[in-house]
Structure 1
Amino acid sequence: MGLRTSPTQRQRRLGIELRRLRDATRMTAAEAGAYAGLSGAHLGHIESGRTAIPEDKLRALLTAYGCESKTFTEALVTWSEAPRGWWHQHRRDTTAGARDLAEMESMATHLSGFEPLHLPGLLQTPEYLKALITAAFPNSTAKFVDRGLEFRLQRQEVLTRGSAPTYHAIIHEAAFQMHFVDTAIMRRQIVHLIDVARLPHITVQIVPFKSGTLPAVGTPFVIFGAADPALSTIYLEHDAGSVFLDDQEHLTRYADIFDRLATLALPPVVPESERTSYETRDSLSLLQHLLYVL
């Protein structure tokens, strides 16, 4: 079997974690590989994500590295065994970053994201998304728009599957004031947002204009939570392309930023039956106000 020329983010991350563990023991690749019956060169390819590693050899390496966390070990085993996902069918009409995003969403145990100017992709209605694609790519063909819509709708299924991750979305009020969609589409998008926010595993908070100074974050981001917090991943999206961050410094920083945003945001949308007072200023109240004024 040949080496991978374009490892996915999951494959790269598995290799990164194995390299971190090996570096902590100060073993050479040849020394560590010997514990699992691997050559140093083969282990190097595994650490770069260019080839897979069987479960028995992975467990042998983790034992050699002194990894005692069962949660950490089983998470890495799950990553190593993950099959090719549905997103591979879109390899000709999506970027590698978009496919990595879909894969990381599928592997996460919980998702936490902030959007300053758009509604989160996992919560967009088809007509909102279609308007967004058309506005961003005015010369796009109908086929391009349809494939983009199909890919996004398949991504959204991660929230309705049997083992759906929990999802906490924080959205700035500015996202509802953008004029790339008409008023009728935005109104239906808000109603959809209220409906999905009532699902027990989905939390939606709105940051109002009057919230004060926001933390220093200039781009949308998502935290892909893992069973072991050390295996979480930060996803940043901007015009130059997507970026995945996995070092502990970034994980700590963005977790802190998200916590601060959650504090600045209004209380989450909850079913009306759970509301204790209609005088409460919360995310649902603001969304209902937006429905009135739009």
Structure 2
Amino acid sequence: MGLRANPSQRQKRLGQELRRIREESGVNREAACRHAGLHKPHLSHIEAGRTACSETRLRALLDFYGCADTALVEALVDMSAASGRGWWSEYRELSKGRLWDLAELECGATAHRSFQWMFVPGLLQTRDYVSALFANSVPAVPPEDGARLAEFRLRRQSVLFADPPPRCHAVIHEAAFHMHFVSRKIRRAQLEYLVEISQLPQFTIQLLPFRSEMPPATPGAPFSLMDGKAAPLCTVYVEQPTTPAFISDPAHVEEFAATFSRLSMAAFDPLDSTLLHATSSYRLVQHLLYIL
């Protein structure tokens, strides 16, 4: 079997996790190769995500490394067995695969946590909001490309309504609803949609007001945390002006998780219109609807 020229994020993450477990166990590459009947370059390619690893060999390696986390073992087996093909395969022309990686990771996540300060998170945007963003994008994209990108984003949202659905926790800065790159009508409809979906049990939506006394360490870039089927498999997706970044290093993931926790504590209570005494996020939404 030939080597993969461009491993997917899932394939790279599987290899990285195998290497992390091996190194933490104190097993060197030579000993692992002898145990699994592999040549040293073969294991190097597996750990780089450039080639596959059979379930039998994968379980043998994890057992040799002393990995006793059953949930992690089964999650890695599932990652290895995945074909990588899904609805996103229909969009091969988009973004050199980065968007496919995002869609595949989102579909495999058990929970989504996101922070946005200028936009509503992509998974929570209405059709009109998405269309307006791509119509006014800078740099401009041809209308047909914008329509294709908008369609892709809307299809990503289906993951939040799967059976069973993953948890979705979003912290959105109030600034996102004062931006004029979408019309007042669209912003109002977007706010009403957030109120509507907040009544579903899988959603936790908080607004971070302008008057929040956030410390200087507030992140400058929006980010999302996607929890895997086992705790060590959380991945961070950071939106950047050039190439978005996927972060899997445990220490860095923990930093983003701590930042999200801090943002959640600084934000208003979760949006909920069903309570007798409306939450502060809901009161802010009503204020925004009034002034828009």
Distance apart, 1:67 and its partner CA: 0.3
In 1, the alpha carbon distance for the partners of 2:132 and 2:41 equals 49
> Aligned with 1:241: secondary structure?
coil
Q: Which residue of 2 is the match for residue 194 of structure 1?
A: 195
With 22-31 and 170-179 compared, the bigger mean Cα shift is at 22-31
In 1, the alpha carbon distance for the partners of 2:12 and 2:266 equals 35
Contact 2:126 2:193 in 1 (8 A): yes
Distance apart, 1:241 and its partner CA: 1.1
Amino acid in structure 1 at the alignment position of 2:174: E
1:264 corresponds to 2:262: no
In 2, the alpha carbon distance for the partners of 1:138 and 1:97 equals 18
Q: Which residue of 1 is the match for residue 49 of structure 2?
A: 49
Aligned partner (choices 283, 287, 290) of residue 288 of structure 2: 290
Q: Which residue of 1 is the match for residue 256 of structure 2?
A: 254
Q: Which residue of 1 is the match for residue 20 of structure 2?
A: 20
With 57-66 and 251-260 compared, the bigger mean Cα shift is at 251-260
> Aligned with 2:63: secondary structure?
helix
In 1, the alpha carbon distance for the partners of 2:76 and 2:95 equals 27
- The percent of aligned pairs where both chains have the same amino acid is 43
Amino acid in structure 1 at the alignment position of 2:79: W
> Aligned with 2:136: secondary structure?
helix
Distance apart, 1:37 and its partner CA: 2.9
Amino acid in structure 2 at the alignment position of 1:188: A
Deviation >4 Å, runs of 4+: none
Contact 2:273 2:282 in 1 (8 A): no
Q: How does 1:125-204 map to 2 (within 5 A)?
A: 125-137=126-138, 139-204=140-205
Q: Which residue of 2 is the match for residue 97 of structure 1?
A: 98
Instruction: Flag the 1:2–1:162 CA change in 2: closer, same or farther, 3 A.
Output: same
Q: Which residue of 2 is the match for residue 118 of structure 1?
A: 119
State TM-score, norm by structure 1.
0.94
State TM-score, norm by structure 2.
0.95
Distance apart, 1:148 and its partner CA: 0.6
With 29-38 and 196-205 compared, the bigger mean Cα shift is at 29-38
| Number of residue pairs the alignment of both structures matches | 290
In 2, the alpha carbon distance for the partners of 1:78 and 1:247 equals 20
Instruction: Flag the 1:142–1:204 CA change in 2: closer, same or farther, 3 A.
Output: same
Amino acid in structure 2 at the alignment position of 1:76: L
In 2, the alpha carbon distance for the partners of 1:180 and 1:271 equals 27
Distance apart, 1:197 and its partner CA: 1.4
Instruction: Flag the 1:183–1:151 CA change in 2: closer, same or farther, 3 A.
Output: same
CA displacement 1:81-128 (0-9 Å, x = unmatched): 122222122121233222211111111111111001000000101111
Distance apart, 1:138 and its partner CA: 6.0
Amino acid in structure 2 at the alignment position of 1:95: K
Q: Which residue of 1 is the match for residue 243 of structure 2?
A: 241
Q: Superposition RMSD on alpha carbons, in Å?
A: 1.5
1:205 corresponds to 2:206: yes
Question: Structure 1: any 5+ residue segments left out of the alignment?
Answer: none
Question: Structure 2: any 5+ residue segments left out of the alignment?
Answer: none
In 2, the alpha carbon distance for the partners of 1:282 and 1:110 equals 24
Amino acid in structure 2 at the alignment position of 1:69: D
Distance apart, 1:132 and its partner CA: 0.7
Amino acid in structure 1 at the alignment position of 2:201: P
